[in-house]
Structure 1
Amino acid sequence: MKTLVVAATKAEVTFFYQHFNLPEGDFIESKNFDLLITGVGMVATAYSLGQFLNSNKYRLVLNVGIAGCFDRSVKLGSILNVTEDVFAELGAENGDEFLTITDLGFGENHFKSRYKKNIDLPPITGITVNCVTGNEKSIKNLKRRLNPTTESMEGAAVFYACKQESIDCLQVRSVSNYVEPRNKDNWKMGLAIKNLNDWLISFISEMN
C-alpha cells in the first residue's frame, strides 16, 4: 500500500512537485505515493479525503503544510510533528464558558496521530480553526483554554477522517508566522515552505 500526501494548497508543496517531476493536478498518482490537494479549510479537506480514503490502498496519510505558532521560543521555519490536534471552535458558547462538542455529547474534538514510528521532530499539540487567529483577546482565550503550539485550518479534519477509516496518519507543519494581529511583514512564508519541502522530499524518498 502507498502513502497519501495531503496538502491544502499547491504552493505549500511546490518544490515537492518539482523534485518528483509531478504533473499539474489536484490528485496525482505515482508508483510509491499519491498526492492530494484538498483546498483550504476543514470542510474542503474532509470532502476531498472522503473521495479517496475508502479505497483501502493507503498505509499512511501524511498531512503537510504551514502553520501559525503561539510559542515564540519556536523559530520561524521550524518543522514540527503535530501529534495531537483539536477542533478549537466546534461547540457552543455558554456566557464566557466554551463547551466543546464532546462536552455537549455530540462527538469528538480532540484527535491524536496514529503514526507510531519516531520521525525525530518535536512533538506538539495543534488546533484547527475556521478563522485564523489575529486578535489579542482570542489569542489569550485559546492559550488559556487549549494551550496549543500551532494552528492550522485542516489538521484535525485529517486526523478525524483517518480515524474513521482506521488509517495511520501523520501531520507535519512548518512555522510560517507567529499567531498575532495580522502582519505579513513578520511572516517567513518562503523559509517555511522550503524547509517543509526539504523534509517532505527526504521523508518520502527514504520510505520508498
Structure 2
Amino acid sequence: MNITILFPTQTEASQFQRDDVSTMISGVGLTATALATMKAIQQYQPELIILAGIAGVYPHAPFKKYDVVLVETEVEGDLGFFTKTGFVHMAHLPIEMEFERRHTLACPHLSLNSPFRLAKSMSLNAALAPFVDVQNIDIENMEGAAFFHVCLQEQQKFLELRAISNIAQIGDDDWDMQGSVKVLTEGLHQLIDILQGQG
C-alpha cells in the first residue's frame, strides 16, 4: 500500500524511520496543514495518508498521558466570534444542523482491525483557548481539522494518529515530548504493519 505520513514538526518525526512509506513535515497550525496535505496528495498520490502527532488530553476524557489513539472526529474549535455574552461557535448559529455537519468532521476510514481506541478531537490555532466548548471532546491539537477537511474534499483516504503528551489545561506544564513521541512512533509502526498486512 502506498502510504504517506504527515508530521506537524520535525520533533514528532524524529524517531520514525521506515523505507516503505513517504513522509512530510506539514508545519504547525491549520493553515500550514491544509497546504501540506494538498501538496502531499498531489506529490505522492497515496492510497492512504496519515497525520501523526502529539496531543493534549482534556481532564474529563477517558485517556491519559502516553495513550495512542485514532481520531474519529475533528472540530475547528475556535471558528466563530465573540458577543457580549461570550464566544459563539459557527456550529451554534440558527442554521445549526447545516453548520454542525460542516464543522464536525468524521473520519470514514476506521473500519480496520485496530488496537487503538478512538478519540474525539478539537483543533485550535490557539492551544488551551479558555472560551471553547470541550465537554464532548477528548483531545486537542493544532492541525487535525484542516487535515480532515482537505482529505474529505479531495476524497483521499486518511487516518489521524495521536499520542497524548500532556493534560490540556492552563497551568499544567507537565509535558513529556520525548516520551510521547516514542509511543507515537511505536504506534505508527504498529498501525502501518496492520495496514500493510504484516500485523
Scaled by the length of structure 2, the TM-score of the pair is 0.84
Conserved 8 A contact 2:59-2:169: no
CA deviation map 1:128-152 (0-9, x unaligned): 0011106xxx17x5234xx210000
Displacement, 1:187? 1.5
Over 3 Å counting, the alpha-carbon distance change for 1:117 and 1:207 in structure 2 is closer
Q: Distance in 1 between matches of 2:87 and 2:195?
A: 45
Q: Distance in 1 between matches of 2:67 and 2:186?
A: 12
Conserved 8 A contact 2:113-2:194: no
User: What amino acid is the match of 1:90?
Assistant: L
Question: 21, 37, 43: which is aligned to 2:25?
Answer: 37
Alignment of 1:10-29 (within 5 A): 10-17=10-17, 20=18
> Which residue matches 1:78?
67
- Runs of 4+ with >6 A deviation: 104-107
Q: Is 1:111 the equivalent of 2:101?
A: no
Over 3 Å counting, the alpha-carbon distance change for 1:88 and 1:2 in structure 2 is same
User: What amino acid is the match of 1:119?
Assistant: S
> Which residue matches 1:59?
47
Q: Distance in 1 between matches of 2:172 and 2:91?
A: 32
**Percent same amino acid at aligned positions?**
23
Unaligned runs of 5+ in 2: none
Displacement, 1:101? 5.7
Conserved 8 A contact 1:102-1:109: no
Unaligned runs of 5+ in 1: 21-29
> Which residue matches 1:23?
none
> Which residue matches 1:175?
164
Q: In structure 2, the residue corresponding to 1:58 is in which secondary structure?
A: coil
**Which is further off, 100-109 or 68-77?**
100-109
Q: Distance in 2 between matches of 1:13 and 1:162?
A: 21
Q: In structure 2, the residue corresponding to 1:142 is in which secondary structure?
A: coil
User: What amino acid is the match of 1:164?
Assistant: Q
Aligned residues, how many? 189
Alignment of 1:130-141 (within 5 A): 130-133=125-128, 138=130, 141=132
Over 3 Å counting, the alpha-carbon distance change for 1:13 and 1:56 in structure 2 is closer
Over 3 Å counting, the alpha-carbon distance change for 1:181 and 1:203 in structure 2 is same
Q: CA RMSD in A?
A: 2.4
Conserved 8 A contact 2:78-2:124: yes
CA deviation map 1:56-76 (0-9, x unaligned): 821111111000000354221
